[in-house]
Amino acid sequence: MGSSKHIHGSNIIHNATAANRNTWYMNRSKKLLLLLLAAIVLGLFFSFRDELSLHAIAGQEIALREFQSQYATLSLIIAFIIYAIVTGASFPGAAGLSLLCGWLFGLGTGLVLVSFASTTGATIAFLMSRYFFRDFVQARLGESLRKINQAFESEGASYLFMLRLIPAVPFFVVNLAMGLTSIRTRTFWWVSQLGMLPGTVVYIYAGDSVPSVEKLAENGLSGIMTPRLWIAFGILAIFPYLIRRLYASFINSQGDSIDQADEVESTGK
């Protein structure tokens, strides 16, 4: 009897040790994978950073147009991958890439490309945070993460929609923080895409209005601004405020409806 208990206890200890060893190997594998991915992304970024600047592209403007004309599908694939990597890794330059895509592909194609590429990049960051960077994000964001979690629990996906419309919280922080909430990946995708769409439309429209990349590189946005673009950026600035007011009115009306229902129920009793 005593021998069987001893064997049983030994099995429990062995199983626990094996489980701990497996966990250690999994954590180590995740860290190695992350280091490898980070090294690849950073290597690509620093290797092609100069070539992707507006001034460098301006010097290859004619060649870029010819390449896009001859290899339309390949150009879209390359642009999509570059944009997704830049947004997913939170590298600077997304606004400039949006203008460039608008200039190179036009309003319609450029809008579809940037809308899906930016959402893809955001979702990659979201998934990396959820499955690989959880401890790191929790340690870094701290109190900010707690507030975002509380707001999401009380308001749901509409809170993410407002964060996308109103850039009060940095783009990459939203991606990482939302990865630690209970939101579904599919919901994160479509809410992000809708929320970022107004800003994407304005930037692609601005890029489509650019006469040449050289002029954009030399003078920035101020060099290409027209009355229509001023109106577009003005609408973009006002739009989140209007949405916030409408959203606040909706929340208040919902609260009033609940209060009225409670009053009717208590009166009935």
Q: What is the pLDDT of residue 151?
A: 85
Q: Phi and psi of 199, rounded to 5°?
A: -65, -40
Q: What is the pLDDT of residue 105?
A: 93
**Is residue 58 within 8 Å of 213, Cβ to Cβ?**
yes
Q: What is the pLDDT of residue 227?
A: 76
Which are the contacts of 95, defined by CB distance < 8 A and separation ≥ 6?
203
Residue 87 clears pLDDT 80, i.e. is over it: yes
Q: For residue 73, count other CB atoms closer than 10 A to its CB.
A: 7
The conformation of residue 206, written as its DSSP 8-state character, comes to H
Most confident of 8-22, 108-122, 156-170: 108-122
Name the least confident of 12-26, 30-44, 71-85, 90-104. Answer: 12-26
Q: Compare 235 and 106 and report the one with higher pLDDT.
A: 106
CA dist., res. 152 & res. 39, Å (int): 33
Q: What is the pLDDT of residue 189?
A: 96
Domain map (residue ranges) of the chain: 49-268
* pTM (whole model) above 0.95: no
pLDDT one-digit tens code per residue, 187-227: 999 999 999 998 898 889 888 887 776 666 666 666 666 77
How far the first Cα of the chain sits from its last, in Å, is 65
Residue 98 clears pLDDT 60, i.e. is over it: yes
**Is residue 221 within 8 Å of 143, Cβ to Cβ?**
no
pLDDT band for 81, please (50, 70, 90 cuts). Answer: very high
Which are the contacts of 22, defined by CB distance < 8 A and separation ≥ 6?
none
Q: What is the pLDDT of residue 149?
A: 84
Q: Compare 113 and 11 and report the one with higher pLDDT.
A: 113
**Is residue 130 within 8 Å of 156, Cβ to Cβ?**
no
Nearest C-alpha neighbor of 119 from the set 190, 202, 207, 182? 190
Q: What is the pLDDT of residue 187?
A: 93
Residue 247 clears pLDDT 80, i.e. is over it: no
Structure tokens given for 56: 């460098």
pLDDT band for 44, please (50, 70, 90 cuts). Answer: low
Q: What is the pLDDT of residue 59?
A: 62
What secondary structure does DSSP assign to 133-146, as a single string? SHHHHHHHHTHHHH
CA dist., res. 23 & res. 220, Å (int): 51
pLDDT one-digit tens code per residue, 250-261: 667 665 555 554
Please state, in angstroms and as integers, the Cα–Cα distance from residue 131 to each residue in 7, 33, 128, 230, following that order.
Answer: 37, 12, 5, 42
What secondary structure does DSSP assign to 152-174, as a single string? HHHHTHHHHHHHHHSTTS-HHHH
Nearest C-alpha neighbor of 86 from the set 160, 208, 175? 175
Across the range 47-71, mean pLDDT stands at: 70
Nearest C-alpha neighbor of 151 from the set 159, 140, 143? 159
Across the range 137-142, mean pLDDT stands at: 82
Q: What is the pLDDT of residue 255?
A: 58
Q: What is the pLDDT of residue 58?
A: 62
Grouping H, G, I as helix, E, B as strand and the rest as coil, residue 209 is coil
Structure tokens given for 210: 């650019």
The conformation of residue 226, written as its DSSP 8-state character, comes to -
Q: What is the pLDDT of residue 111?
A: 95
pLDDT band for 110, please (50, 70, 90 cuts). Answer: very high
CA dist., res. 229 & res. 75, Å (int): 27
